[in-house]
Structure 1
């Protein structure tokens, strides 16, 4: 977090089978989580909490100033069809909140390393990993790592950032 890494240029494939570079979101904040759909532990809670943050943000900001994205840690298993089913469980619209994967292993690993996300495969198709909300600014710089359990704090922090940005225009 202190290093404020820049989101590396990666190619995403989302639940709608669209393929695009992360730079598609230049000029917008991006609230991120890292998940995998076979997770039965922290990932469902992480996504339910992200849904609450997403729903707390005024429609005037969502899509215009900020987008939400859940990126899979398991691109082999989490194909677009799987991501599409997962998306529906949490009320993600697939547009202003996207579920995506990075199919290039080197790109995914570079992103995880840059953002300090530790992923340890257990050998049985599951992973141990740290979980948080990650906020990338309109220049692609990681500016906040927030506790995913503190939903109100994350929502308040995000709204404050968005309002401040709007007042600077």
Structure 2
């Protein structure tokens, strides 16, 4: 037998349930980034074991509690690397009081020439807080290249006396829990990156 009272109760419950489900699915608090959101991308393995410019062995887990920008390059890079580091330096300055919650990490793809001593001179010239890391072995370089899915290729000059390194020009952002969150294309502009970083820092 049709019971109007029970029907109304069920209808009210269904409306409330659907409304809650809709709001949860939409998640209006979700962050909107200018750069490429790679949150949850399982094909990456950002963990590494590298040596910094002071000779200390470093792992990604060392930087938990901070948001990290990870950039790949080499010290003899003529254009992309220094301009990117200068842009990140501007980002640090624009962050103001939040800059202490950020760690900038430069990983060389040319450990043959980028020795510990070279990194110790090059990296602090942009900002004393920047950290330079290098693979101690070819295997360590291969691991980090595969883990971050970057492109690296050694290219010799015609006379064979010199070489350059072609490499991915973008950077990565890792959040305070050590999870990959963003891929930053080259030359996006400092303010754009600051806007994204503040969402992860706060």
Structure 1 unaligned residues grouped into runs of 5+: 164-169
TM-score (norm 1): 0.82
Describe how 1:55-134 pairs up with structure 2 within 5 A: 55-59=93-97, 61-63=98-100, 65-90=101-126, 92-93=127-128, 96-123=129-156, 124-134=162-172
CA contact (8 A) 2:105 2:133 kept: yes
- 2-structure distance, mates of 1:22, 1:161: 17
The yes-or-no answer on 1:156 pairing with 2:195 is yes
TM-score (norm 2): 0.70
- Higher helix proportion: 2
Q: Which residue of 2 aligns with 1:35?
A: 73
Q: Report the secondary structure of 2:200's partner residue.
A: helix
Structure 2 unaligned residues grouped into runs of 5+: 1-37, 157-161
- 1-structure distance, mates of 2:65, 2:138: 26
- The 4+ residue runs of structure 1 with deviation greater than 4 A are none
Q: Which has the larger radius of gyration?
A: 2
Post-superposition Cα deviations, 1:90-142, rounded to whole Å, max 9, x if no partner, equal: 1x21xx42112121322222222222210111033311112112101223221
CA contact (8 A) 2:50 2:140 kept: no
* Count of aligned positions: 157
RMSD of aligned residue pairs (Cα, Å): 1.9
